[in-house]
Amino acid sequence: MTKYGIITLPAFAGEDEGVRHFFGTRHHSGHPAVGRGSSGLASSEPVIVVSVEQVHGTDALVLDRPVKRGETFPGNWDALMTNQTGLLLTVRTADCVPVLVYDPVRMVAAAVHAGWRGAVAGIVPRTLSVMRRQFGSKPGSLQVGIGPSVGPCCYEVDEPVLSQLRVGFPDWRSVVRATGKGKALLDLRALVRRQAQAAGVDEGHIRSVNLCTVCHPDLFYSYRREGTVNGTMISGIMLTRHKKR
Ligand SMILES: [Zn+2]
């Protein structure tokens, strides 16, 4: 579903469930509304946007207290999580995978930036285990939304990537297709999905936007396609004050 330049996955988190989310397209990313807090999310509540420096690492920023508007979070974070309402957790991606996580039981939300380095290093399962440790989130309760990224159609990787994948992910064969000597097409979204399942998330609780950022220049920026960083897409998730049930 695309509206106002954003894509949502109602099956991942409907609007009446105490959470809002979106995956941005190039028609939304960098829009000043994001910085001002309205963010493309229809909300009458005050919104504080949390945006951090990403480095293709695996560290998670835990926000378990109220945050002041304009507050910054020095450090390098590729995952953000909170149990606070009104905090819009955002990640920026071009071809990397934006992953949003929602725990409707413990009321926790997380946003993850997973490129191949972070994915292979296990940023998604690591984030889930930090959610469990910090907030008591059980993997079986979690909903996972996987956003648009470079697809297996367009993501040929070579030996340096494959050798790390083999070390980091025992089931690596299930997410690659060999194309030649030392080269293969890697399905980053499938890697994230399988890692989440291996961490205990129900298969039926994982939803993906199956759009390739390289194949859809009308919708997405792509470093792979454009050869340069022309822009990034912003994706976000926010707990809302009232759960309409
Ligand atoms: Zn593609």
- Ligand 1 centroid, distance to 98 Cα (angstroms): 16
- Ligand 1 centroid, distance to 221 Cα (angstroms): 12
- Ligand 1 centroid, distance to 63 Cα (angstroms): 35
> How large a percentage of the chain has pLDDT more than 90?
70
- Ligand 1 centroid, distance to 122 Cα (angstroms): 23
DSSP output for the chain? -EETTEE--TTT--TTSSEEEEEE-TTTTT-HHHHHT-TT---SS--EEE--B--S---EEEE-S---TT----SB-SEEEES-BTEEEEEEESSSEEEEEEETTTTEEEEEEE-HHHHHTTHHHHHHHHHHHHH---GGG-EEEE--B--TTT-EEEHHHHHHHHHH-TTGGGGEEEEETTEEEE-HHHHHHHHHHHTT--GGGEEE---BTTT-TTT---HHHHSS----EEEEEEE-S----
200-226 pLDDT, tens digit each: 999 999 999 999 999 999 999 888 888
Q: Which fold has domain 2-148+192-239?
A: CNF1/YfiH-like putative cysteine hydrolases (3.60.140)
- Ligand 1 centroid, distance to 75 Cα (angstroms): 33
- Ligand 1 centroid, distance to 152 Cα (angstroms): 7
Residue 35: pLDDT above 70? no
Count of Cβ atoms closer than 10 Å to residue 31 Cβ: 17
What's the confidence (pLDDT) of residue 41?
Answer: 57
Confidence tier at 44 by pLDDT (50, 70, 90): low
204/110 Cα distance (integer angstroms): 19
Tokens standing for 216?
Answer: 């859809």
- Ligand 1 centroid, distance to 160 Cα (angstroms): 21
What's the confidence (pLDDT) of residue 54?
Answer: 85
What's the confidence (pLDDT) of residue 155?
Answer: 95
Residue 78: pLDDT above 90? yes
192/206 Cα distance (integer angstroms): 10
Tokens standing for 228?
Answer: 């340069």
What's the confidence (pLDDT) of residue 179?
Answer: 95
What's the confidence (pLDDT) of residue 148?
Answer: 96
When comparing pLDDT for 160 and 2, which is higher?
Answer: 160
Residue 111: pLDDT above 50? yes
> How large a percentage of the chain has pLDDT more than 70?
89
| Interval 126-132 mean pLDDT | 97
What's the confidence (pLDDT) of residue 43?
Answer: 54
Instruction: Write the CA distances from 239 to 5, 10, 20, 24, 162, integer angstroms.
Output: 21, 15, 6, 18, 37
| Interval 173-184 mean pLDDT | 95
Would the pTM of this model clear 0.85, i.e. be above it? yes
- Ligand 1 centroid, distance to 242 Cα (angstroms): 39
83/89 Cα distance (integer angstroms): 11
